Amino acid sequence: MKDSIIIVSGGMDSITLLYDKKDEIALGISFDYGSNHNAKEIPLAKMHCERLGINHLTIPLDFMSKYFKSSLLDGATAIPEGHYTEDNMKSTVVPFRNGIMLSIAIGIAESHGLKKVLIANHAGDHTIYPDCRPEFITAIDRAAQAGTFVNVSVEAPYTDITKGEIAVIGKKLKLDYTETWSCYKGGNKHCGKCGTCIERKEALAFADINDTTPYEA
């Protein structure tokens, strides 16, 4: 029975979760919050949902780019290069982004009589993104169940695994990861140098997947 909503960005993690849980998902939601790479990701999210016969919505959150401070919202040149373990990558945090998106998705779930909201955060996010950490997921799940008549739950099945382990799941599902987008700079090709590009390369290598992503020279 399809009783779930998924927050689907068009990146490796959420597209893997989309296919992993496709038999449970009634609706896919993408959020356009004005990041450099939204224009690359969201069409892919819509394409995959349509391929699976899952309804898809894009919800604009343009206020975030006006009032929130993050290099992710300040243009491609503001995006730092390097590994996620480096301190400069903290500039890419969009404050409470997942909290805002999950709150909206929870409200939509209750409006449609759906019981679950799925999100694809993973263990590699924990270092710099507070609203990807297990304690946050636990807290917002409790808040969702307490604050809705139908006791909507938030489920994040990849919270305790790495992006590489997610890629292993995708390999078993026979996913083509060239049909996903990672780069925070949002250019014509993946830059290959920002934190998400490096993480993408490492994940595909971990899963022994041939990386055919077009990268800039």
Binding-site residues from annotation for ATP: 8-18
- Quote the CA–CA distance of 71 and 89 in Å, as a whole number: 9
Binding-site annotation, residues for Zn(2+): 183, 191, 194, 197
What are the Cα distances from residue 117, in Å, to 143, 162, 177, 197? 13, 21, 23, 27
> 27 pairs with which residues across the strands?
5, 55
Encoding tokens for residue 149? Answer: 């008549």
Token pair 């919800």: residue: 59
SS3 state at 30 = strand
Beta strands in the chain (DSSP E): 4-7, 25-32, 55-60, 116-118, 153-155
What would you report as the CA-atom Rg of the chain, rounded to the nearest whole angstrom? 16
Q: Cα dist. 122→59, 108, 130, 176, 209 in Å?
A: 23, 24, 12, 20, 19
CA 152, CA 200: separation in Å to the nearest integer?
Answer: 32
**Spatial separation of the C-alpha atoms in residues 63 and 75, rounded to whole Å:** 16
DSSP helix/strand/coil, 178: helix
Question: Binding site residues, as ranges?
Answer: 8-18, 183, 191, 194, 197
